[in-house]
Amino acid sequence: MQMFREEVVRLLSDLVQLDKQELAMDLETPPSSEMGDFAFPCFKLAKKRRQNPAAIAADLVNTLPCSNYFEKIEAKGPYVNFFCNRELLANTTIKNILTQGKAYGQQTLGKGKTIVIDFSAPNIAKPFGVGHLRSTVIGNSLYRLYQALGYNCVGINHLGDWGTQFGKLIVAYMQWGDERKLEKQPITYLYELYVRFHSEAEKDPRLDEEARAWFKKLEDGDAEARALWQRFRDLSLTEFKRIYNLLGVEFDSYQGESFYNEMLDGTVDLIEAKGLASISEGALIVDLSEENLPPCLLRKQDGATLYATRDLCAAIYRQQHYNFTKMLYVVGADQALHFQQVFTVLQKMGYEWAENCVHVPFGLIRYKDGKMSTRRGTLVFLEDVLTKATELAKEIIQEKNPGLANKEHVARQVGIGAVIFGDLSNDRIKNIEFDWDKVLDFTGETAPYVQYAHARICSILRKAESWPAPYDATLLTNAEEQNVVRLLARFSDVIFRAAQTYKPSLIARYVLDVAAAFNSFYHQCPVLQAEEASRNARLALIDAVRQVLVNGLYLLGISAPEEM
């Protein structure tokens, strides 16, 4: 589509006084194919020329030069609609996909630019909640989307590995700790200790004081405190990494909150030197009342730093270290205020780059029904979710395709894919109710549905002994074929929009549409049974669909098994 878009811009820019880039941005995709492939809205011009937009549209159509890229250009109300030359579109699209393979859809827009993506960031010794799963899959998808746009991406896991909870944990471990239990299931066990600490501290408030004292020791570098903290961190991280492995997620950095420990004084000094800090009720704060925000806390009464202090420090460090053009924080919507405060303080400090920091919020997720094991209490643990999904997928595969080789592996790809898709296919900001029956349904709007379309194509291609062969894509003229081609051609546009709006759901929607378009094509048009010329054109078409499904699922962080 890019080549056609450029042609539209070229044709129009001779006639209207608009910047080419602006023109390209203004182009819309009409809601249905009967209205063409691109629509140019004339409202801006109408304002400029003080003319009726429909009159401008009609005028433009009459004066636009001919181009063999388009078979029709027509005015429709205030829009000029462009219809791509079908043969040219089919030819270039299929050829591009089959020659570019995995790279199809990739762009160069972000070349030379760095984007930092802060995502996942579970807290050590606090429950690795399903909220962290959301952040992990959304962040991972944004990472891949921006990479596809050509950006240099830096994925940072800002681990919650510092804070008063470590004081509590040290106290709890010293009092009730059991080395063997810690080794065996660090995350669960540390959480148990954490919960126990809270219930005992209710009865005995001295425990809280002790915990504060231990955290202070930790901040001051006390060897015993450090050693315990290090152990908790290492053990937890090993477990987290197992989960990331299951999900296929990687990070460029695990510099969590503790990493900034040595730099915090410097950050606080800097804020004070800029005259932004003041004392309120014994605590050091940045007053944000002018911005209508509650104050940002830098230091508690006892001198201990806070989550916000560490985020301020981290942002400044990352700007210096990575020189990013953009930094995304993929964190639940419940932290919106925190990020507003942090970004505002950065602005007040005079950092222009503060406006390139974006909080990418998301809603809550709830796992419906009793299929989840409750043996670990009311809390849903991420690993249990993934294990459960894999088990359910295995049952389904057992039923549908008992002879499948690699059942275990495929079940994992399908089960975990279903969990990821069940998350990403929803509007990011909405709360989701996660329903096992729905996400694993092979006929619903699910990962298995898309994966199944892909596996089906692989099976057809395996049977087509003569493929790959020379083909003529201009033979793809019927409505189903053209519908598929048109969708495939849109891939890079969709990537661009999904990245720009931080919405992986657009890619999820897109792969569903591609799978559905393939299914209705396959329902109408024989492939292997068609006569040779048409068979080869259709094989080329479905091979292209296969590639785009693989690439699209990859952007979501989902694998595409060849058989299932």
Q: C-beta of 420: minimal distance to ligand ARG in Å?
A: 19
Query: What are the residues whose beta carbons fall under 8 Å from the beta carbon of 213, sequence distance 6 or more?
Result: 167
121 is a contact residue toward ligand ARG (CB under 6 A): yes
> Which CB, 341 or 559, lies closer to ligand ARG?
341
> Which CB, 27 or 133, lies closer to ligand ARG?
133
210 is a contact residue toward ligand ARG (CB under 6 A): no
Q: What six digits make up the tokens of 398?
A: 């057992």
Residues contacting ligand ARG: total by CB under 6 A: 8
155 is a contact residue toward ligand ARG (CB under 6 A): no
Which ranges of 159-222 does DSSP label H, i.e. alpha helix? 164-176, 179-184, 186-203, 206-219
CA–CA distance, 160 with 154 (Å, rounded to integer): 18
Going by C-alpha positions, the residue among 100, 35, 44, 107 that lies closest to residue 72 is 35
Q: C-beta of 170: minimal distance to ligand ARG in Å?
A: 19
**Of residues 78, 139, 155, 160, which one binds ligand ARG by CB under 6 A?**
160
Going by C-alpha positions, the residue among 172, 171, 169 that lies closest to residue 233 is 169
Q: C-beta of 333: minimal distance to ligand ARG in Å?
A: 12
118 is a contact residue toward ligand ARG (CB under 6 A): yes
> Which CB, 70 or 381, lies closer to ligand ARG?
381
- How would you classify residue 85: left for phi > 0, otherwise alpha for psi between -120 and 50, otherwise beta? beta
> Which CB, 329 or 434, lies closer to ligand ARG?
329
Stretch that binds ligand ARG, among 45-53, 118-126, 170-178, 195-203 (CB under 6 A): 118-126
> Which CB, 197 or 362, lies closer to ligand ARG?
362
Helix (H, G, I), strand (E, B) or coil at 76: strand
Site for ligand ARG in 500-539 (CB under 6 A): none
Stretch that binds ligand ARG, among 116-124, 162-170, 269-277, 288-296 (CB under 6 A): 116-124
50 burial class (0-12, 13-18, 19+ CB within 10 angstroms)? Answer: exposed
Query: What are the residues whose beta carbons fall under 8 Å from the beta carbon of 261, sequence distance 6 or more?
Result: 162, 219
Q: C-beta of 246: minimal distance to ligand ARG in Å?
A: 20
**Of residues 329, 362, 502, 522, which one binds ligand ARG by CB under 6 A?**
329
> Which CB, 232 or 554, lies closer to ligand ARG?
232
26 is a contact residue toward ligand ARG (CB under 6 A): no
Q: C-beta of 331: minimal distance to ligand ARG in Å?
A: 5
Q: C-beta of 382: minimal distance to ligand ARG in Å?
A: 13
331 is a contact residue toward ligand ARG (CB under 6 A): yes
Cis preceding linkage at 468, omega within 30: yes
CB atoms within 10 A of CB 62: 7
185 burial class (0-12, 13-18, 19+ CB within 10 angstroms)? Answer: middle
Rounded alpha-carbon distances, angstroms, from residue 32 to 13, 368, 465: 25, 36, 37
Site residues, ligand ARG (CB under 6 A)? 118, 121, 123, 158, 160, 311, 329, 331
